[in-house]
Amino acid sequence: MINIFDIARIAGVSKTTVSRVINNQPGVREDTRIRILEAIEKLNYIPNQAARSLVSRKAGVIGVIYNEFNTSVYLKLANLLEDFASRYNYNIVFSSSNDDFNSKARYVQYFTGGAADGLILFGSDTRDKELVQKIININFPLVLIENHFNDLKVNNIIIDNFSGAKSAVNFLIGLGHSKIAHITGNLNHRAASDRMNGYIEAINSSGIKYNKDYVIYTDAGDSSGAAAVERLMSLAEPPTALFTFNDLQGYEAVQRAMELGVNIPRDLSVVGFDNIYELLRFIPSCIRLTSMKQPMEKVAEAAIKLIIDNIDNRNTKPRVISFDTEIYEGTSCIEVI
């Protein structure tokens, strides 16, 4: 392997000078610089990343761990993170634990062991608590996105799921609905419980009587939306509106309801959460789901800013930043008649 010493020899200088050129430092005579650059080019020299990191104590890298790469709006977040990171001259690399806890621990060790200067943990998973605690213990720069632990002090970017859910339901109330159902996500996840609580808050504060039959508990798994809407529509007094934990459930519910002969939105107005519609706009769907949209760009920008602040100063006080959602109006809702 070609190393800095080879270049120094060929260019007839010391490796200190080569190092200066590699790092674009000033104080090298122009002809020396050119000679070195030529040697680098000629020998296809690439500086050893490990050696640089070891001595400079930085990797120039931000690591991101996803639970899974899936077809969701959060993929867009990855591109946005890359965008903002590159503006600050950081590389950013992503890994997925594929929902395996040991894999996640492996990647945490890899990144915190110096492969990255800071770590962004994306996505809600209660099992992460112990890992997060460990990262805090070693005072490693960390930002959590869409995850939250009440008793851990850590940089945190969250979506205001409570207010978002409340807005969604208030939107339905504004259309004249009062028989409004909710399909929950997995309540072990903060996002799900917050959205349910937002639903309850909107219902209660509007004077509508809370109807427990209108709340269907699910784990947000595959087909959870379909099964839930079946139960709802078979009630003696079915709801005229529905707020679902997320868009996947929402679309599933729409699909199943239509199969059951329910006209959307005439018989049932539906609001989802996440607004995955823009990912799918090319699909000839009969319905564009009305949904609460997350400000991904703001989330990405804030995440990169937080992590870089934390890298630059490991003693910054952990901050919690919350963003509001806004409604995207599709074709799945209509005023009650």
Nearest to 2 by CA among 47, 36, 32, 34: 47
Nearest to 145 by CA among 296, 278, 327, 279: 296
Q: Which stretch binds a second copy (CB under 8 A): 6-14, 133-141, 181-189, 316-324?
A: 133-141
Min dist. Cβ of residue 258 to a second copy (A): 6
Question: How far does CA 231 lie from the centroid of its chain?
Answer: 31
Min dist. Cβ of residue 16 to DNA (A): 3
- 3 contacts DNA (rule: CB under 7 A): yes
CA distance 335 to 180: 13
The four Cα atoms 316, 320, 321, 322 give a dihedral, to 10 degrees, of: 180
146 binds, among a second copy, DNA, none (CB under 5 to 8 A by kind): none
Min dist. Cβ of residue 315 to a second copy (A): 15
- 19 contacts DNA (rule: CB under 7 A): yes
- 50 contacts a second copy (rule: CB under 8 A): yes
Sign for the CA dihedral angle at 299, 300, 303, 305 comes to negative
Span 47-76, contacts to DNA by CB under 7 A: 47-48, 51-52, 54-57
306, burial (CB in 10 Å: exposed 0-12, middle 13-18, buried 19+): buried
Q: Which is nearer to a second copy, 251 or 273 (CB)?
A: 251
**What Å distances lie between residue 250 and 48, 149, 182, 268, 291, CA to CA?**
50, 27, 10, 12, 9
- 207 contacts DNA (rule: CB under 7 A): no
Among 11, 39, 61, 119, binds a second copy (CB under 8 A): 61
- 14 contacts a second copy (rule: CB under 8 A): no
3-state secondary structure at position 46: coil
**What Å distances lie between residue 284 and 246, 277, 280, 281, CA to CA?**
20, 12, 9, 8
- Site for a second copy (CB under 8 A): how many residues? 60
115 binds, among DNA, a second copy, none (CB under 5 to 8 A by kind): a second copy
CA distance 250 to 226: 9
Q: Which stretch binds DNA (CB under 7 A): 18-26, 155-163, 172-180, 227-235?
A: 18-26
- 139 contacts DNA (rule: CB under 7 A): no
32 binds, among DNA, a second copy, none (CB under 5 to 8 A by kind): DNA
Each residue 295-324 as x (binds a second copy by CB under 8 A) or -, in order, gives: ------------------------------
218 binds, among a second copy, DNA, none (CB under 5 to 8 A by kind): none
Strands 155-159 and 320-323 come out as: parallel
Span 67-96, contacts to a second copy by CB under 8 A: 68-71, 75, 78-79, 82-83, 86, 91-96
SS (H, E, C) 97-141: CCCCHHHHHHHHHHHHHHHCCEEEEECCCHHHHHHHHHHHHCCCC
CA distance 23 to 237: 71
Ordered DSSP codes for 196-220: HHHHHHHHHHTTPPP-GGGEE----
DSSP-assigned letter for residue 331: S
- 286 contacts DNA (rule: CB under 7 A): no
- Binding residues for a second copy, per CB under 8 A? 2, 44, 46-54, 59-61, 63, 68-71, 75, 78-79, 82-83, 86, 91-96, 98, 100, 103, 106-107, 109-110, 112-115, 134, 137-138, 225, 248, 251-252, 254-255, 258, 279-280, 282-287
- Residues of this chain that interact with DNA (CB under 7 A) are 1, 3-5, 12-20, 22-23, 26-30, 32-33, 45, 47-48, 51-52, 54-57
